[in-house]
Structure 1
Amino acid sequence: MNELIQAMEQRVFGQKLNTRLLITALLAGGHVLLEGVPGLGKTKMARTLAELSGGEYRRIQFTPDLMPGDITGSVIYQMQDHSFKTIQGPIFTNVLLADEINRSGPKTQAALLEAMEERQVTIQGNTYKLPNPFFVVATQNPVEYEGTYPLPEAQLDRFMFKLVLDYPGEEAEIAILRGHVPFHQHQEEPLQAVLTPERVTELKRKLSDVVVEDSLYTYIATIIRKTRESKRVQLGASPRAGIAVLMASKAWALLDGRTYVTPDDIKLVARPALRHRLLLTPQAELEGGTSDHIIQETLGSIPVPR
């Protein structure tokens, strides 16, 4: 995993924390929503991770006319032998890049719900298991942008993390310019994978060896419940959010070379794990409040276990 982190950082500049959180979600078995304005490297980040992790990779460009069957697959009638054949869609892969997911309508977005939660797809009444590991990286432009459809709460809740990409610093931007390679040269020099899907699955099993003390279970539950009690929050975090914080903190500890979780691990992953799950009241939004502010205040109001 450290080799994977180093290889990612050599190709994705100015996003060290987000890169590490992306790999944390892969290890924890979650999915990631990347948000940022066009041109920040969201697609490149997902594609680089897919190539380095050694799994099969597919990309779906979400557009207003995309249909659910274009993602999951469909059944066609074969004239030659008068039989029906199931054509599996691009969702049958290890790493799926759902590019600009909020440019399609809710009906198409909902095609991912079953796959993301249950790791299976139903096509014309028949259920098919997805490969292991199955990792969705979705990118979206900020909702204020032209031609976007906000993701429904049920869809957002299935993402372990929402990572917000900002403009890189000056040094990182200079490194991007220096390291730019024309696309045709990328074709000649493919990235060498540092992992395999089997190795990723094996590493995911090691999460069960990471120790979490009883006081930390209480700490996570308190954080989740506090978000529901805030008067500025219309919809608080769900129990699934608590599981996301737990698994992400375990994965972060494992990446740090530890077999135990600390309160700092929980505090670090809480913001990306909860920011997309909180629905603020209209009054709070008018006052300029954000879910990140609510999470920070919540963490500050809860005593840290010793």
Structure 2
Amino acid sequence: MSDSGKPPLPVTPDDVRAAFARIAPHVRRTPAWSLPRGFGHDGEVSLKLELFQHAGSFKARGAFNTLLSEAVPEAGVAAASGGNHGAAVAYAAMRLGHAARIFVPEIASPAKVDAIRRFGAQIVIGGPRYADALLACSIHIAASGALSVHAYDAEATIAGQGTVALEWEEDAGPLDTVLVAVGGGGLIAGMATWLSGRTKVVGVEPAGSCALHAALEAGRPVDVEVHSIAADSLGARSAGRLVHEIAAACVDQVVLVGDDAIVAAQRTLWRDFRIATEAGGAAALAALLSGAYRPRPGERVGVLLCGGNVDLGILAELTEAKS
């Protein structure tokens, strides 16, 4: 038991710090860009440009932490993914010399599937949705003995993703609030583990894919319907058990944004900064632009841009629609 009398959480700040040291030679230290006044807010906005990470998203952190923490069998590694996690696992496996098999759903973005293939992994279409790909991956792992690299609900994954917050805090200094997009929740669970007690952590989910919001309301992970422009990266049918446990203790708030707000954030990032983000990568900014999260006057707000694996043809259509 902890000093508070409550059971300890499954991932600790010490786990995040250890992961940071472990993966440092293998991941990029991504920029934190300070805007004195940004996006209609009168206070400082810090953009963490994690879309510049290897394989195009924060997921490389958890992938490397898992592969460097576990003994990898001859059968290699296996993962189920909407795209970004698969690309990250494929990249980490390639760099560390392991075979990888990635199970993706039919809705996976072609840009992300191409990235997985480029990093040398075997791709298996596991069914219509992420949950179907996860089931197919589980069957393969049971039969082959391959190492499972879970996208969000594993201690090593969560600790690895939490290194985003440690790095951001070192580079940008203390922030009052950080806005973090949520799919299965490994990222926000890791970041909240590190920031809890110092910085307000606000999750941002699409209204059509709100697994963590539903879990916190129900008091346990529950299945939700998934219908969102960001479903290929933020489309988990339910939050993980470990994620829910950490989020219930450490996440301050979860807000919902519509697909129109996400597209507007993508347009803003491209129009004003020439930053190309996927829908999931723009979701956190959508909360600030749309008013789903309203900061106090002068509040130092951090916005995580977590993924850049966007089909440039689709981005062009989105940006030209308002030109």
Structure of larger gyration radius: 1
Superposition TM-score, scaled by structure 1 size = 0.30
Superposition TM-score, scaled by structure 2 size = 0.29
